[in-house]
Structure 1
């Protein structure tokens, strides 16, 4: 992997290189102290990741970020700043994958890079990176999600403090209450207090809900073409509930929160594709509704990627772990065999099962979509179908 780090502080550059090489000798870490030096590197050498301080001495950080996107759209773009984006820097936000405030330790950056899970030379992986990286505007990590993650990392953080944070966004707060009452419908009494709802949902489910609603609420510019966002929410919730039922059925309760969260975000790539500035996605959605061709196939024919791949890559860029991103990426084509619980297959089956009814159309595969041999266990396949049919 080749990483370009751009910062006017030469000592910091060397410290970052030492930290990276200490753990990953195979990484090639390129350094530049000015935007002009960095542009020369980008014009000459392919890179996987660009880390840049937006306070460059010779050019505006926003201009540099846009040059990176134009020269190497497949590169992950990580920006550092002394303060939240100031006036004149806002255009950079839609072209960034991650933004962190300084000061920070080199080991922190190392952890960020390690979490990206992009060390794969397969052609289709590079195509996905190039597609997402080349978008005119990338959905940014919702600020409420970042604040929530930071709060949950504190040892003294309590559920009441988490509830106060969630309460700042009425849309998210209402969905938390709705979700808590839906998931825990067997509870003795309705969940009316946000603090209780937060405690009942659990940390992982809460984070994913905040992330989902943040992406949806930020999807107004540009507006997704032909995509019913409320229908997407309903479908995603049904799938999340279904896949969690499957892991609980199999006694894999430790995977329940992961399964629910992956189900909630499995189709988030639809929102990204639906903002295609060329305006092609509406026609793809219409064709998927009127033909027997699966949506993912139509997407791949047009873009070379599908919404599952795009969504998984975006989640990876935001720092979600491979165990989360993998089932999202594979939910239309789960692999057979493998070790451990087949979460990708469970997600695929829940997605196919909940594609009809109120969410008929683009969310439906038109079939259960999963042959028993994929699970290597026909009895499990039948058991899962029965569970989801309840």
Structure 2
């Protein structure tokens, strides 16, 4: 299947550069090119455009307005906004319509990396209505304003931790979640952390961003008691999985960056469940879905995709690293022990988190992954299970 990509930019040299780069990908990608919004809309009307990549500033309506029209009228299209200045304080209104935003200059390899995975994962979703909902108006929400502001500050040439602390401190709910996490038993500090600056430094900005996603993207968090209880339970489960994933990864690799990615993957491994609830809230089927949300077979029948596939699709649209996307996609798949990675860590941690009486000290009691998996299989009653190759890869 060929992917149809529309590039929109009023700089002819940039468009010609995309054309030259696309030549080597012509067996997989079809390129379409427009120098203004009017021509872009004509192309979209006549072609099945999978991805629209537009500069923010183009003749006619702006790039963000173009994507707003695409979002409404062609909801299956993946929307990417290009900007020439990564530190500019553009309006959240501009970025709220894009699944991703990339900075110029942006070569074709970066674009290829960012859009091939969403297209691939989307092919796993066997329901046209679900794809339209997820990519269009009512499915995967845009990043909240604080996420964009944090991104702008992080990528500013004059980044300031004091401005970051000030930004986060204005959000009382987010600040409370950060203190709740950093002072939990997961971190085990002997004294209570009361300084937000210290808490942010302990957790790291990537983990802060994942907390924002979990707690701020979805608008229904203040609804029914049953929904609140489910989300709080999901939050607690995700914290356990993320912590075990981080510790297991560091225990086996001594790689701090990899361990941080394992933490993020663990925290977001069930985010597909939140997205499903968000979708079902839009079409008033929330209560029915809440009854089957933990039943993968029922969810697959209902939506044509599992929560793992939906969560991975969301993270791929948001531009998360492939290692984290893969861990979310495959966290219920069969273990592959020959090549330990973040996916393996989240798979093991998710299963450990569901075993009663297991705590973080388990990693100090075993000298190999195999011994931990043997314990899991015994506790789950799967004594004869032999870990095999992942069915998806």
TM (norm. structure 1) is: 0.73
> Residue 285 of structure 1 aligns with which residue?
290
Shift of the 225–3 alpha-carbon distance from structure 1 to 2, 3 Å rule, reads farther
- CA-CA distance at 1:39 after TM superposition: 3.5
SS in 1 for 2:146: helix
The answer to whether the 8 A contact 1:237-1:264 is kept is yes
Give the SS at the match of 1:46. Answer: coil
Bigger CA drift: 191-200 or 76-85?
76-85
Counterparts of 1:199 and 1:119, CA distance in 2: 36
Q: How does 1:88-103 map to 2 (within 5 A)?
A: 95-99=97-101
Shift of 1:61: 6.4
Instruction: For residue 227 of structure 1, give the secondary structure of its aligned residue in structure 2.
Output: helix
Correspondence for 1:196: 198
Change (3 A) 1:353 1:377: closer
Q: Which residue of 1 aligns with 2:270?
A: 267
What corresponds to 2:77 in structure 1? 75
CA pair 331-224 structure 1, distance change in 2 beyond 3 A: farther
Contact 1:96–1:138 (8 Å) recurs in 2:
no
Give the whole-Å Cα distance in 2 for the aligned partners of 1:338 and 1:310: 25
Q: Contact 2:153–2:160 (CA<8 Å) still a contact in 1?
A: no
Q: Secondary structure at the match of 2:183?
A: helix
Q: What is the rounded CA distance, in whole Å, between the counterparts of 1:222 and 1:24 in structure 2? A: 47
| 8 A Cα contact 2:186 2:243, kept in partner | no
1:186 partner SS: coil
Cα separation, 2, equivalents of 1:181 and 1:135: 37
Match of 1:42 among 28, 41, 44: 44
Equivalent of residue 373 in structure 2, options 381, 385, 389: 381
Q: Which among 151, 174, 178 is matched to residue 172 of structure 1?
A: 174
- 1:299 corresponds to which residue? 299
CA distance in 2, matches of 1:146, 1:156: 17
SS class of match (2:124): helix
Structure 1 Cα separation of the partners of residues 224 and 118 of structure 2: 27
Q: Which residue in 1 is equivalent to 2:320?
A: 320
Choose from 132, 142, 145 the match for 1:143: 145
> Whole-Å Cα distance in 2 between the matches of residues 30 and 151 of structure 1?
34
Measure how far apart 1:267 and its partner are.
1.7
Equivalent residues in 2 for 1:99-248 (5 A)? 99=101, 105-107=104-106, 111=110, 114-116=113-115, 117-118=117-118, 120=120, 123-124=123-124, 130-136=132-138, 138-153=140-155, 157=159, 159-182=161-184, 185-216=187-218, 219-220=219-220, 227-228=227-228, 229-248=231-250
- 8 A contact 2:125–2:305 mirrored in 1: no
Report the 3-state secondary structure (helix = DSSP H, G, I; strand = E; otherwise coil) of the residue aligned with 1:29. Answer: strand
> Deviation per CA, 1:310-330, whole angstroms, max 9, x where unpaired?
221111111111011111111
**Secondary structure of the corresponding residue to residue 227 of structure 2:** coil
Do 1:225 and 1:281's aligned partners in 2 also have CA atoms closer than 8 Å?
no
Contact 1:239 1:263 in 2 (8 A): yes
Q: 1:240 to 1:15 in 2, by over 3 A?
A: same
2:33 is aligned to: 31
Decide whether aligned partners of structure 1 residues 308 and 154 sit closer, same or farther in structure 2, where only a CA change above 3 A counts: same
Coordinate RMSD, CA, aligned: 4.0
Q: Note the alpha carbon deviations across 1:43-88, whole angstroms, 9 max, x for none.
A: 43333210235666556867754553466433211245898459xx
Distance 1:63 1:142 in 2: 18
Structure 1: state its 5+ residue gaps.
Answer: 289-293, 358-375
Asked if 2 retains the 8 angstrom alpha-carbon contact of 1:267 and 1:308, the reply is yes
- Alpha carbons 1:246, 1:384 under 8 Å: kept: no
Whole-Å separation in 2 of the counterparts to 1:54 and 1:149:
17
Q: Do the aligned partners of 2:139 and 2:275 also contact (CA within 8 Å) in 1?
A: no
Asked if the contact 1:43/1:71 (under 8 Å) is kept, the reply is no
Separation (CA, whole Å) in 2 of partners of 1:246 and 1:106? 38
Partner of 2:259: 256
- Scaled by the length of structure 2, the TM-score of the pair is 0.73
